[in-house]
Amino acid sequence: MMDNRFPFTRIVRGLPATVPFVGPEALERRRGEPFRVRVGANESAFGISPLAREAMFRAVERLSWYNDPENHEIRSAIAGFHGVPFENVSVGSGIDDLLGLVVRVFVEPGERVVTSLGAYPTFNYHVNGFGGLPHFVPYRDNRNDLEGLAEAAAKTDARLVYLSNPDNPTGTWHPAANIRAFERTLPDRCLLILDEAYSEFATQDAPPPMAPIRPRVIRMRTFSKAHGMAGARIGYAVADAVVVEALEKVRHHYGVNRVAQAGALASLEDTEFVASVVRSVAEGRTDYALLGEGLGLPTLPSATNFVAFDAGTVDRANTILDTLQRHGAFVRKPAAAPLDRFFRVTVGTPEERLLFAGILRTVLAAL
C-alpha cells in the first residue's frame, strides 16, 4: 500500500515494487564478491569494434556538448544500412526504451497486449507501467506459439503482440516465412513488435530485409548484442513513418548519449568486426552443445548468443542455477513453465567457456 500523503496517479498506486531484472552487480553485492564468470545477461564476450572504441574516446573529449537530440547522423546511417527512408527509423536508448514508448503510444489503461509466458520481462514491465493488461500464451515445443499468439490477439482485441525472433530466453526461432504469415493473421487494430535483438546471430535463417516497410510491424534492433555495446544504451526501431512520428512526440529527446551515438555510427560500418563476433559466437554455441551432450543436459538449437540447457526438471534446474551462482558463475533461467527446466548460458570467450564448463562439472558432480 502506498503512502497516501502523496497524490500518486491511480496506475502508479497499483504498481508492485518489482524490477524487470536483478543485475549481476546486485547479486555480487549480496554475495560480497564478484562472479568468476559473467555469462548470464547475453552480453557480448567479444568486445567492441576498434573503430567504435576510437570514436567513443573522441566523443568523451567532446562530452560537454549535448548529444544531437535528433540523432541525425546515426539515424541516417541506420536508414542507409537497411535501405529504408530516414523517417522510418527511431533511435532510442536501447530496445527497453523503445518498448516503453511503443506501449505508451498504443495502449490505453485497461487495454490488452499479447506476449509469450516467460518472454522478455521488460515489455511486461512497461505494459503494467502504463496500465495495460498483458495476456500470456505459453511456449509450445520450446518456441513461441505463433498460432496461439494470433488467436489470443484476436480474442482479447490486443493493441500489441510482442514477439522476439530469434527468441530470448530459448534461443529458438521461426523461419522468416512463418513470421510473415503470422503478421498477416493479426487483427486490424493490432501491431506486432518484432524484437530482433539477436538477429545478427541467426545464421541459420536470416531475417527478411527491412524494406519494404510493413505498416503493422515495428521491428527493433540493438547495438547491445553483436556490436558489444550493451553499456552504451542504443537501439532502434524500424516502422511505419506514422508510428515513428508518434514516438517523436513522446520520446526523451536527449536520451541517447553522445558516446553511444558515436560508437554506434562507427560500429555499424565495421561489418567485418560484427561478422567475426558472429563466427566466434557460432563456435561457442557448438562448444556448449557438446558440453551439454557430454553432461546429459540436452541443449536447444540457438540462433542467438546464448544456449538453453535442459536440466530435465524444474527442481534440478533451480538447484543447478543456485549452485552455479554460489560457485561464481552468473547465469539466468526462465521462471515460467514449460521453460523453467532450462537454464540459459551466454556464449563466453573460449577461456570463459572453459571456466564455466569446469564450474558446471563441479556443480553436477556434487548433486
Pick from 87, 262, 105, 119: which is nearest to 191 by CA? 105
* Binding status of residue 12 toward its own copies by CB under 8 A: yes
How far is 335 from 304, CA to CA, in rounded Å?
20
Site for its own copies in 224-283 (CB under 8 A): 224, 228-233, 240, 242-243, 245-246, 248-250, 252-260, 263
* Binding status of residue 69 toward its own copies by CB under 8 A: yes
How far is 255 from 97, CA to CA, in rounded Å?
9
* Binding status of residue 63 toward its own copies by CB under 8 A: yes
Q: Mind giving me the DSSP string for 41-94?
A: S---TT---HHHHHHHHHHHHTTTSPP-TT-HHHHHHHHHHHT--GGGEEEESS
How far is 119 from 365, CA to CA, in rounded Å?
31
Distances (CA, A) of 344 to 125, 200, 222, 351: 21, 19, 20, 18
Site for its own copies in 203-222 (CB under 8 A): 215
- Print the SS3 string covering 103-149: HHHHCCCCCEEEEECCCCHHHHHHHHHCCCEEEEECCECCECCHHHH
* Binding status of residue 43 toward its own copies by CB under 8 A: yes
CB of 53 to its own copies, least distance (A): 6
Residue 280, exposed/middle/buried by CB under 10 A (0-12, 13-18, 19+)?
Answer: middle
C-beta of 260 vs 297, nearer to its own copies: 260
Site for its own copies in 13-42 (CB under 8 A): 15-17, 19-21, 23, 25-26, 29, 38, 41
Interface residue with its own copies among 47, 209, 296, 350 (CB under 8 A) is 47
C-beta of 180 vs 189, nearer to its own copies: 189
- Other Cβ atoms less than 10 A from the Cβ of 216: the count is 17
Interface residue with its own copies among 94, 169, 284, 292 (CB under 8 A) is 94
Tell me how many residues contact its own copies (CB under 8 A). 85
* Binding status of residue 9 toward its own copies by CB under 8 A: yes
* Binding status of residue 10 toward its own copies by CB under 8 A: yes
C-beta of 105 vs 364, nearer to its own copies: 105
* Binding status of residue 6 toward its own copies by CB under 8 A: yes
Site for its own copies in 103-132 (CB under 8 A): 104-108, 122, 129
Mark the segment that binds its own copies (CB under 8 A) among 148-156, 175-183, 184-192, 195-203: 184-192
